[in-house]
Structure 1
Amino acid sequence: MAEIRRYPFVWHVRSGTTDHLVHVSRGRTVHAGTGQAFWFRPLTSALSEVPIDDRELGLLFHARTSDFQDVTVQATVAYRMADPDLAARRLDFGLEPRTGRWRGRPLEQIAQMLTEASQQHALALLAGLPLTGALATGMTGVRERIAAGLSGDERLLQTGVEVVDVRVIDVRPEADVERALQTPAREQVQQEADRATYERRALAVERERAISENELQSQIELATREEQLVTQRGANERRRATEAAAAGQIETQAKAEQTRVLAEARADTTRMVGAAEAETEAARMAVYATIDRDVLLALAAREAAAHLPQIGSLTLTPDVITSALSALARTDRDA
């Protein structure tokens, strides 16, 4: 707002860079522009201050669709005073000299004009759309309709108001209707989620089955290899037993042959020894046949004496000595 200072007989006013200040004295415009600062007489002057910065107006209103459903429209309209001199003449932007504030409420009047015009265009559009169409394309359609309608509004043009931008934030039905509309989509999403869950479970079951089949196949393969191992071990044991039996048979045959050869050798030795002993005995008998009886007795006594135990004392009778000496004498004579 403008800053007004009072001095004796004359006052001073200063405006900001975003405020357009108009000074009218005796029906004639003395000063007009932004950032003005000048002296004036309060009794003969009229001051008007028009803001020229961009301002935003929030809109929230209800509309009814063609199928009699209530929707809420939330939008924002940005505007500014394109012709502040025209706005100062059409609306009451006059300042109170003592306070520097507006005597009226010009911005509220502009807001009311923008709100009514925006609602009119939005209601006209939504009244021809069903609820689903309003929710699907309502935001874009309402924004375009409001922007086109406000840009060509004669009252706004004659007031010097220019619409800079229109944004529609939301077009929403009543809460219960919105929940009802969301139900099919939620059900479809839930069905998709359930289907994904079922597919995931089916995939998990399929993978478990594949794992079980692999484990069973592994067990079968292991059992088959174990059977082959047992068969091979049995064959190896049989082969080992056969080889051991054959080796034992060969060893037995070798031992038998060795025993036979040894027996034959012993028999041959025994026969040779017996033959030699027989020959020796025959020769001895032949010698004994030619020896005198007394000599034979002496030899027999000597042989017997060799096999008799040790004798501590021996008693010889004269008869035995006589016979022995006679025998010896005979032997010497014969020799």
Structure 2
Amino acid sequence: MATITRFPLVRHLRGTATTHIECLANGRRREAGVGATFWFRPMTAAISEIPIDDREQEALVRVRTSDLQEVTAPATITYRFAAPAQAAARVDFSIDLGNGTWLENPLETVGAMINGAATAAVTATLTGLSLREVLTLDASNLATHTLAGLRGDERLVAIGVEVIGIRFSLLRPEPEVERALQMPAREQVQQEADKATFERRALAVEREAAIGENELANQIELARRQEQLIAQKGANSKREAEDAAKADEVRVHAEAGRSATLAKAKAEATRVLGAAEAEAEAAKLAAYQEAGRDVLIGLALRELAANLPQVDQLVLTPDLLTGMLGRLTGAQQD
């Protein structure tokens, strides 16, 4: 935007490097140029400011295909004013001489022209194509044909607009139609997802079966080893029983032999002892036969005294003593 400095009776304008200034005084061009700086009188001057930098215009083009379906083609158009003087003559770019702002909205007017030209170019390019052909059309080819149509548009050429380029976003049909077109692809994607899910489940089942078979094989191997262990334990127990039986047999034979030897020794000892006792008794009897009566009585009394129970008190009465003395005296007399 140009900068206007106010002074008494006159004013000073300073343009920018991206704007073209057209100044008319009394209907005649007085000043013109890019970045112009000049003095002017507001009562007689008419000034236009035309931007010469690259600008972008958004356009939303709606076209109808051969199968009566509506398609929306959003586009971004880059343009510039290649002939600013021609633009100033055809479009109102006048500025307020007090603050330098546009009195109208010239860029909106130009944008409407560009939008209309883009609609016409896109419609001409897509006419006769079906919905699927339009949706599968290469965006670069569409941009090339549309750009050629814009550059050949007489209205844009008349206002000095040069279209530099155009970019198209995603071409889209109506929402209901778009969902219907997306349905087969979604179904295919869903089928592939279901297939992947089934394959994953089948793989999981196979892995579980393999794990089960492995566990079963491990259990069978464990049972076989347990069977071998039990058989080995039985064999070991049998061997231990046989060894114990043999040991008991040897021990019994040894004890029997020892018992027999002890019995024989005891019998021999008993025989020898009996013979010795017999000889001793025979010797005693032979001695008793040769001994006198008094000796025998004394021996008998000694034996009797040795075998009598213990007597703590002995009471001798006169009758007992008299009887005993009488027997002793009678015996002596005999």
TM-score by length of 1: 0.79
Distance change in 2, residues 1:242/1:296 (3 Å): farther
Q: Which residue of 1 aligns with 2:132?
A: 132
TM superposition shift of 1:265: 0.4
**Residue correspondences, number:** 319
Q: Which residue of 1 aligns with 2:318?
A: none
1:279-294 correspondence runs (5 A): 279-282=279-282, 291=290
1:181-238 deviations in Å (ceiling 9; x for gaps): 0101111111122222222322333333333333333333333333333333333333
Q: Which residue of 1 aligns with 2:301?
A: 305
TM superposition shift of 1:177: 0.9
Q: Which residue of 1 aligns with 2:328?
A: 317
Q: Which residue of 2 aligns with 1:51?
A: 51
In structure 1, C-alpha distance between the alignment counterparts of 2:94 and 2:279, rounded to whole Å: 182
Q: Which residue of 2 aligns with 1:145?
A: 145
Q: Which residue of 2 aligns with 1:328?
A: none
1:109-188 correspondence runs (5 A): 109-153=109-153, 155-188=155-188
1:195-210 correspondence runs (5 A): 195-210=195-210
Q: Could you tell me whether the CA contact under 8 Å between 1:57 and 1:77 is conserved in 2?
A: yes
Distance change in 2, residues 1:287/1:85 (3 Å): same
Q: Which residue of 2 aligns with 1:224?
A: 224
In structure 2, C-alpha distance between the alignment counterparts of 1:96 and 1:271, rounded to whole Å: 168
The percent identity for this pair of structures is 48
SS at match of 1:53: coil
1:261-297 deviations in Å (ceiling 9; x for gaps): 11100111122223333444555566677x4xxx364
1:59-110 deviations in Å (ceiling 9; x for gaps): 1121122333210111111211123233234444344657756566543442
- 1:193 to 2:204 alignment: no
- Give the counterpart letter for 1:243 in structure 2: D
Q: Which residue of 2 aligns with 1:270?
A: 270
Q: Could you tell me whether the CA contact under 8 Å between 1:138 and 1:171 is conserved in 2?
A: no
SS at match of 1:163: strand
TM superposition shift of 1:53: 2.6
Give the unaligned 5+ runs of structure 1.
324-335
In structure 2, C-alpha distance between the alignment counterparts of 1:7 and 1:210, rounded to whole Å: 98
TM superposition shift of 1:37: 3.0
In structure 2, C-alpha distance between the alignment counterparts of 1:91 and 1:170, rounded to whole Å: 33
TM-score by length of 2: 0.79
SS at match of 2:75: strand
1:239-261 deviations in Å (ceiling 9; x for gaps): 33333333223222222212111
Q: Relative to structure 2, which stretch is displaced further, 82-91 or 181-190?
A: 82-91
In structure 1, C-alpha distance between the alignment counterparts of 2:23 and 2:87, rounded to whole Å: 14
Distance change in 2, residues 1:285/1:46 (3 Å): closer
TM superposition shift of 1:148: 3.2
- Give the counterpart letter for 2:202 in structure 1: A
In structure 1, C-alpha distance between the alignment counterparts of 2:98 and 2:288, rounded to whole Å: 195
Q: Could you tell me whether the CA contact under 8 Å between 1:61 and 1:74 is conserved in 2?
A: yes
TM superposition shift of 1:133: 2.8
Q: Could you tell me whether the CA contact under 8 Å between 2:288 and 2:296 is conserved in 1?
A: no
Q: Could you tell me whether the CA contact under 8 Å between 2:61 and 2:122 is conserved in 1?
A: no
Q: Could you tell me whether the CA contact under 8 Å between 1:126 and 1:138 is conserved in 2?
A: no
Q: Could you tell me whether the CA contact under 8 Å between 1:75 and 1:170 is conserved in 2?
A: no
In structure 1, C-alpha distance between the alignment counterparts of 2:292 and 2:245, rounded to whole Å: 64
Q: Which residue of 2 aligns with 1:329?
A: none
In structure 1, C-alpha distance between the alignment counterparts of 2:263 and 2:53, rounded to whole Å: 144
In structure 1, C-alpha distance between the alignment counterparts of 2:106 and 2:286, rounded to whole Å: 185
